[in-house]
Structure 1
Amino acid sequence: MSNVLAATYNSGMTDFTPPDSFAGLTPELVLDAVESSGLRSDGRMLALNSYENRVYQIGIEDASPIIAKFYRPLRWSDEAIQEEHDFVRELQAHEIPVLAALQTEDGKSLRHYQGFRFSLFNRQSGRAPETGDPATLEWLGRFIGRIHAVGATASYAVRPALNPQSFGVLPRVWLLENDFIPPDLLAAYTSVSQQALDGIQACYDRAGDVPQLRLHGDCHLGNVLWLESGAEAGPHFVDFDDSRMGPGIQDLWMLLSGERSEMQSQLTDILVGYEDFFEFEPRQLYLIEALRTLRLIHYSAWLAQRWSDPAFPAAFPWFNSQRYWQDRILELREQVALMDEAPLWQI
Structure 2
Amino acid sequence: MPAAIVARCPDCAKGLKLKPSAAGKTVKCPACGAAVPVPAAAGDGAPRADDSTTRRNPAKAKRKRSAEPAAAATGSGNSGEIFAGLDLGEFGHESGSQRSLAKQGLPGRVQKGPLTDETEVINNAPKKKEEPPTPLPVVLGIVGGSLAVLGIAGAAVLFLLLGSGPVEPPGELVRYTHPERGKFAIDVPDNWATATEGGGQGGRPAFATFEGPGGEVQIRQSLSGSAIGDIASAGDTQLAPGEELPEELTAIYGQHEAVKGQVESNFSNYSETGGKNFDSKAGEARRSTFTASGALGGAITGYRGTYRIGNDTYTVVMQSSTRDFAVMGPVYEKMLESVGR
TM-score normalised by the chain length of structure 2: 0.20
| Bigger Rg, which one | 2
In proportion to residue count, which structure has more helix? 1
Bigger relative CO (Cα 8 Å, ≥ 6 apart): 1
